[in-house]
Amino acid sequence: MCSIDPNSTNITEKPPKVSIGMPVYNGEPYIREALDSLLAQTFTDFELIISDNASTDSTESICREYAAKDPRIRYIRQAENRGALANFKFVLDQARGEYFMWAAHDDRWDSMFIELTSHTLDNDLNVGLAFSDFITKNLITGAIKSYSSCGFTTSKNKIIRYLFRLVHGCSNLIYGLFRREVLLNVPLYQFDYYDIYLTHWFELESGIKTVPLPLFTAGEKGTRIPYSVTNTKIDYNSFLKAEYELLKKHFKFPLYLIMQFAAWYVIRRNTNILNKMISKGNVI
């Protein structure tokens, strides 16, 4: 069960070009700035679908306030906390646009983010995911932690594209702009490194490009210790199982086994580092 704000149900017959899905739980401290940066986009043909996972703070009143002022916003409150994966899937299922992006309540977007990423998709039908360079910002102190680029390759060779993305892992790509019809073909799972699996899927099934400008700000709330989404320690077994099926689909024997070994080597090394940090309580 869920409740929909009556001010947010005026769905026009013509779907918007872009759908933005914001799954949120207790986003009170940061959601106003996130909403302001989305509503300030130079590209205006979008809908913003907010799915509130039964927040216990003032998230509901803030979202209803914004929905009452802007008809592009649809606010939906879940009757109970459905979990993160179900909430991410819910906003995707509600979307109507040709392009789709997930939006976190504690991230920020330059006013040109949607315009430039949608332009990238418009001009290259082989690209299924467009993103930009990004900065990481401490939302408590306001300090910029780092400037990063996910990079991209123009190679048409799947081997090169896969190995490039394996080496240049970038979890923030999950917050890029997708072709919705392509994204709907990706199975949504909840396991450690799913965001990395998603980027590998897009490199092999479609393509990825990034705009070389820092148009996205990933918000962090102070120090952050690595964590697992399923257990106390990060586990890569479910990732490797899904990765095996993906590689087997795109490469012949024995190449897919060689690629699987490469994936195992990179992910295992990264997992060992992160689990040591978890054990010692070290921050990223």
Residue 169's CATH number: 3.90.550.10
Which residue blocks in the chain are alpha helix, DSSP H?
A: 31-39, 59-69, 84-94, 113-123, 158-167, 180-183, 194-205, 237-250, 255-280
pLDDT tens profile 129-172: 999 999 999 988 888 988 999 999 999 999 999 999 999 999 99
Write down the mean pLDDT value for the chain. Answer: 94
**What average pLDDT score do residues 64-86 get?**
97
Beta-carbon-side half-sphere exposure of residue 3 (alpha carbons within 13 Å): 11
DSSP annotation of 210: E
User: Considering Cα of 229, then 232, then 234, then 236, what sign does the dihedral take?
Assistant: negative
**Any idea of the CA torsion for 12, 15, 20, 22, to the nearest 10 degrees?**
50
For residue 87, the tally of other CB atoms under 10 A from its CB is 22
> Is 74 within a domain?
yes
Residue 102, domain extent = 2-227
Question: Pairing mode, if any, of strands 2-4 and 108-109?
Answer: unpaired
State the Rg of the chain over Cα: 19
Coil, strand or helix: which one is 161? helix
Give the pLDDT score at 1: 52
- Count of domains forming the chain: 1
Tokens of 270: 């990264």
CB 251 within 8 A of CB 191: no
- Structure confidence at residue 11 as a pLDDT band (50, 70, 90): low
Tokens of 178: 């997708």
Percent of the chain with pLDDT over 70: 95
Give the pLDDT score at 282: 72
Give the pLDDT score at 181: 98
Strand partners, 149: none
Tokens of 34: 């996130």
More confident residue, 12 or 217: 217
pLDDT at residue 25 greater than cutoff 50: yes
Least confident of 43-52, 95-104, 213-222: 213-222
pLDDT at residue 7 greater than cutoff 80: no
> Is 199 within a domain?
yes
For residue 196, the tally of other CB atoms under 10 A from its CB is 23
DSSP codes of every residue in 70-128: -TTEEEEEESS---HHHHHHHHHHH--SSEEEE--TT-EE-TTHHHHHHHHHHH-TT--
pTM for the full predicted model: 0.94
> Is 135 within a domain?
yes
